[in-house]
Amino acid sequence: MRRTPRPLVLILAVSALAAAALTPLTSAEEKVILTPKPGPEPRINGARVFGVRPRSPFLFTIPATGERPMTFAVEGLPDGLTLDTATGQITGALAARGEYAVTFKATNRSGTIERGFKIVCGDTLALTPHMGWNSWYVWENHVTDGIMRAAADAMVSSGMIDHGYQYVNIDDCWAVKPGSNDPTLQGPERDARGMVNSNGRFPDMKALTDYIHAKGLKAGIYTSPGPLTCAGHVAAWQHEEQDVARFVEWGYDFLKYDWCTYLGGGRDKTIDELQRPYRLASAILAKQPRDIVLNLCQYGMGKVWEWGASVGGNSWRTADDLGGRFEGIPAALFRDGFDVYSKNELHRHGGPGRWNDPDYLLIGYLSDWQGGTAATPLTPNEQYTHFSLWCLVSAPLIFSGDITRLDDFTLNILTNDEVIDVDQDPLGKPGRRVAKSGDLEVWVKEMEDGSKAVGLFNRGEGLAEVTALWADIGVQGRQKVRDLWRQKDLGVYKDALKAFVARHGVVLVRMWPEGK
């Protein structure tokens, strides 16, 4: 006799549900922290594979939670690399191409943990989606050297580094702004060699990247292929070689290359015109003695996902700015996050070294675009939805709220290691929507170990029961199911999983065939 699956009732933001039938829930939801805090025992987190080019400076910090002091060890570390056993920072350079299977170990007074890791020395960077922080959505045009240093400090003190966050990226507004009345934005645009200068808010870029690197983190910068950036600062037009050389001289590891004023800024361009600046930039980057990840930003023009990797992009923005309008963020999450992705079947285009980028994580405190900051307009459940979707589709996890003002709820969204494992899975196979019934959607990502990560989403305005059928997920028989936000086993299910999901909320699970 067939057993009917046990009903699963998972309720996010319980207190909000009572009001569901009566009023919209936007401001009524409580911030329910679902994720248990990491324990004192060591746990190694984040990516399990890392790409580097031969002879490039190598920097990878083993992300590990657990009580300090902690001691690190690496078995099988190839020649050329050195481990700092107190910090877990691996530095040096690899001479020979190849795959190096190593074992990371972390020990503290509660025990020792081991985890396999693969270093791939070849041509491909960004073998898993980038994780980090970007200045734009909180600091926009008033970013400074001090803000970037404080962000690096906070990435360490908040513990985000222990979950795999790595990049500390300046967005627009570090270069001189022609015509500005603000003395800190004035000055010579370039030096005698034609190399781009930073403005007075960034007195010493090399010292800044040294500061970021010393913490085991990486540094990112931004420019446009046009004459000016979107905010009107000097950009790379006809100085592409010099500006990339400048970024190398300064020690940057990541470049966001934003269309902005290129070819007059219009969007009526041929595919060749759309590709040209990115081909040029990636050809220049390939010649550098330093690894710089290339992030294409041109808002999805010309179906960039179809050719972003072929012009050398490691990731490409798939739509306009998610936070273009502060109050518009929730709508943009569903439109540009969910719908752009499924309509264009973006899962077919992502993979190791080449990721769809639906823009930054807009949680915590964001710029209100009036000189101040404000709490994200996303409800608590929308924030779980935002992060879950990004992990299911293998999106870069770049937080762009105020990293120096992280409340416990925001930190719980950003640092759930089992959820991050979905994003960072070494197979690098972006998930996709497998079922839609009105406002209810089921998304699935195949994981390297043969398990599936499954998101049950409710885009509707009230509580609803979402059913995820085995036939849609692509599994059979009895499945062991684990709730990833709560880090809790739910039991064994057959044929389907049903969950009550709150307005704009999600239940995110991972399932393995029973016995595995």
CA distance 464 to 482: 20
- Is there binding between residue 258 and ligand GAL (CB under 6 A)? yes
DSSP 502-514: -TT-EEEEEEEET
Closest contact distance (angstroms) between CB of 224 and ligand GAL is 8
Torsion sign (Cα): 310, 48, 428, 376: negative
Residue 263 is a binding residue for ligand GAL (CB under 6 A): no
Q: Name the CA radius of gyration of the chain, rounded.
A: 23
Taking each helix axis from N to C end, the angle separating 240-250 and 205-214, rounded to the nearest 10 degrees, works out to 50
- Residues 468 and 454 sit within 8 Å (Cβ to Cβ): yes
* Nearer of residues 168 and 297 to ligand GAL, judged by Cβ: 297
SS3 content of the chain, % helix, strand, coil (to 5): 25, 30, 45
Q: Which is nearer to ligand GAL, 172 or 402 (CB)?
A: 172
Which region, judged by CB under 6 A, interacts with ligand GAL, from 31-39, 225-233, 386-394, 466-474?
225-233
**Residue 366 binds ligand GAL (CB under 6 A):** no
Q: How far apart are CA 170 and CA 424, in angstroms?
A: 23
| Phi, psi torsion values for 317, nearest 5 degrees | -65, 135
When the beta carbons of 117 and 136 are compared against ligand GAL, the nearer one is: 136
Distance between CA 138 and CA 360 in Å, rounded?
11
Q: Which single residue is written with the structure tokens 């309720």?
A: 11
- Does a cis peptide bond (omega within 30 degrees of 0) precede residue 69? yes
In whole angstroms, how close is the CB of 127 to ligand GAL at the nearest point? 24
**Closest distance of CB 295 from ligand GAL, Å:** 10
To the query of whether residue 182 is one of the catalytic residues in this protein, the response is no
Q: Is 473 exposed, middle or buried (0-12, 13-18, 19+ CB in 10 A)?
A: buried
Cβ distance to ligand GAL smaller for residue 230 or 280: 230
Q: How far is the CB of 210 from ligand GAL (least distance, A)?
A: 25
**Residue 137 or 250 having the CB closest to ligand GAL:** 137
483 is catalytic: no
Using DSSP's 3-state secondary structure scheme, residue 111 falls into strand
Q: Which stretch binds ligand GAL (CB under 6 A): 24-32, 229-237, 413-421, 430-438?
A: 229-237
| 263 φψ region: left (φ > 0), alpha (ψ -120 to 50), beta (else) | left
327: number of Cβ within 10 Å: 7
Q: Are 357 and 317 in contact (CB under 8 A)?
A: yes
231 binds ligand GAL (CB under 6 A): yes
How many residues belong to the site for ligand GAL (CB under 6 A)?
10
State in angstroms the smallest separation of the CB of 199 from ligand GAL: 14
Question: For residues 231 and 492, which CB has a smaller minimum distance to ligand GAL in the complex?
Answer: 231
Single-letter residue type at 299: Y
User: Applying CB under 6 A, which of residues 60, 117, 136, 247 lies at the interface with ligand GAL?
Assistant: 136
Where does this chain touch ligand GAL (CB under 6 A) — which range of 124-132, 224-232, 264-272, 438-446? 224-232
- Binding mask of the shown chain, residues 296 to 325, with x at each position contacting ligand GAL by CB under 6 A: -x-----------------------x----
Closest CB to ligand GAL among residues 322, 475: 322
Q: Is residue 506 part of the contact set for ligand GAL (CB under 6 A)?
A: no
Contacts of residue 471, Cβ cutoff 8 Å, sequence gap at least 6: none
Q: Shortest Cβ distance from residue 369 to ligand GAL (Å)? A: 12
Answer yes or no whether residue 357 interacts with ligand GAL by CB under 6 A.
Answer: no
The answer to whether the CB of 119 falls within 8 A of the CB of 102 is: yes
Q: Check residue 230 for interaction with ligand GAL (CB under 6 A).
A: yes
172 lies in the binding site for ligand GAL (CB under 6 A)? yes
- Cα 444 to Cα 447: distance, rounded to the nearest angstrom: 10
Range in contact with ligand GAL (rule: CB under 6 A) among 123-131, 187-195, 226-234, 362-370: 226-234
Q: How far is the CB of 159 from ligand GAL (least distance, A)?
A: 26
Of the listed 162, 258, 359, 425, which one is catalytic? 258
**Which residue from 29, 145, 162, 171 is in contact with ligand GAL, where contact means CB under 6 A?**
171
For 141, half-sphere exposure in the C-beta direction (CA atoms, 13 angstrom radius) is 14
Known catalytic residues are: 258, 321
Return residues touching ligand GAL (CB under 6 A). 136, 171-172, 229-231, 258, 260, 297, 321
